[in-house]
Chain A
């Protein structure tokens, strides 16, 4: 694994204010994402996983803190940073009124890719994600699994360095989940850095180089799945996670 740091997340906080309450979704997150790794963000509902991935994808700004790409703040030039990332949200946001081919064509144009490169990438991604037979179909008619597959294909259109996948396998059939796992593994082989937000601990265990466990807006642990299992003396990541939650609840009650 390369040890070069791609992204340095420094003291990120996020606070939401509603008329009745103030929610501290992230309370000072510090994290380094290494080039070419698959890093999984784990946590229970409301732990801050989606908030963190939305901030890294620049969909939302942090309340405070900074993110550095190769040592430079991404907020100095957000549009330039966006050329380096691909964000795949929890809910597939395909343009249902366009065909898959048209969706991909526009995805290439948004990143100012030359026409021949767009054609080449379209061909490659359609084949790789087995979408060829739906090329002329409208996005709205696809099933959940194909939509998810397509969203990942669209995310890869401009060959980003960092791919942010926010719960990409939620609600998918087991065989489609496995299929997407293969896709994610292939991305790693190609040198793409993947930030994976997931609820599924088996998924994190199989795919990740490192896992980062978030709880109540702060990072509890970052390590390789193997080290975590060894240090907690557990057979799988799910047991480690449950142990951590129990420890956290015990600490809170004390």
Chain B
């Protein structure tokens, strides 16, 4: 009986996620163009212009691989605004919350939908690799490619659930800029996007240990550990475990807070 109910709930959740994927896919071409422009700009500057200031040539590929994850973090802001206007306006979410599945799974559907959106978009960032001629720097074995794809998937899953948490922190849609400044920007800028954890440790062990509280550290170190072994600071396994831990933590907090806020069953 219990198993039947779980399966039935999962079936409804699957349909809800299919609904979101269908909606996101209808904007795919526009989003392709957005991501390619963004990634190309990053690559051109990092690979071709920064070396003129004495920066290492390998910094280009370092940034592109980091940015394949970072896109999802920046996506949170638009998803945050969308979700806030959704719950403030009492729109389609009020329909979803009366469907035959627990309210928690409705929020999981939003997280998975957002995760899919940032996953598919950030994947396109990798197309900018075509601008980089030095493919030799990438460690391309079947295992490393699998590890990279798995970490990439986990990272976007994290962004989906983290988005729920940021929504729960925002009283209304005007707070999107506050979230960007107070949450997203520090996570990004201090989170090993432009340097490795080891580099930070060499400068200040205290700040390096403090940075272990930043989920972005694991996402970025993990993605680089999979395919750019020359930049390894934290092991791939540690990064995967920590990312899963952060997904559970922020997912749980986000769902609990949103259920309370929307006064759901």
Contacts and interface: CB of A to CB of B under 8 A. Distances in A.
Interface of A: 57-61, 75, 77-80, 82-83, 85, 87, 89, 91, 93-95, 97-98, 102, 106, 109-112
11 contacts: A61-B263, A79-B9, A82-B99, A91-B89, A91-B94, A93-B93, A94-B92, A109-B18, A110-B12, A110-B16, A110-B99
Nearest to A14: B263
A87 B96 CA distance: 11
B90 A83 contact: no
A112 B98 contact: no
Q: Which 8 A-B pairs have the closest CB atoms?
A: A82-B100, A79-B100, A109-B15, A87-B98, A61-B265, A93-B95, A60-B263, A110-B99
A59 B94 contact: yes
A93 B86 CA distance: 10
B78 interface: no
B97 interface: yes
A97 to B, nearest CB: 5
B98 A57 contact: yes
Given A83-B100, A93-B93, A95-B23, 19 more contacts: A57-B98, A58-B98, A59-B265, A61-B263, A78-B265, A79-B5, A79-B101, A80-B5, A80-B100, A82-B98, A87-B95, A91-B89, A93-B94, A93-B95, A95-B19, A97-B26, A106-B19, A110-B100, A111-B100
Interface of B: 5, 8-9, 11-12, 15-16, 18-19, 22-23, 26, 89-95, 97-102, 263-265
A86 B216 CA distance: 43
A59 B97 contact: yes
Contacts of A77: 5
Contacts of A57: 98
Contacts of A78: 102, 265
Nearest to B97: A59
A74 to B, nearest CB: 10
Contacts of B9: 79
A89 B100 contact: no
Nearest to B14: A109
Nearest to A87: B98
B186 to A, nearest CB: 29
A79 B8 contact: yes
Given A60-B264, A110-B16, A95 B92 contact: yes
Contacts of B92: 93-95
B25 to A, nearest CB: 11
Contacts of A80: 5, 100
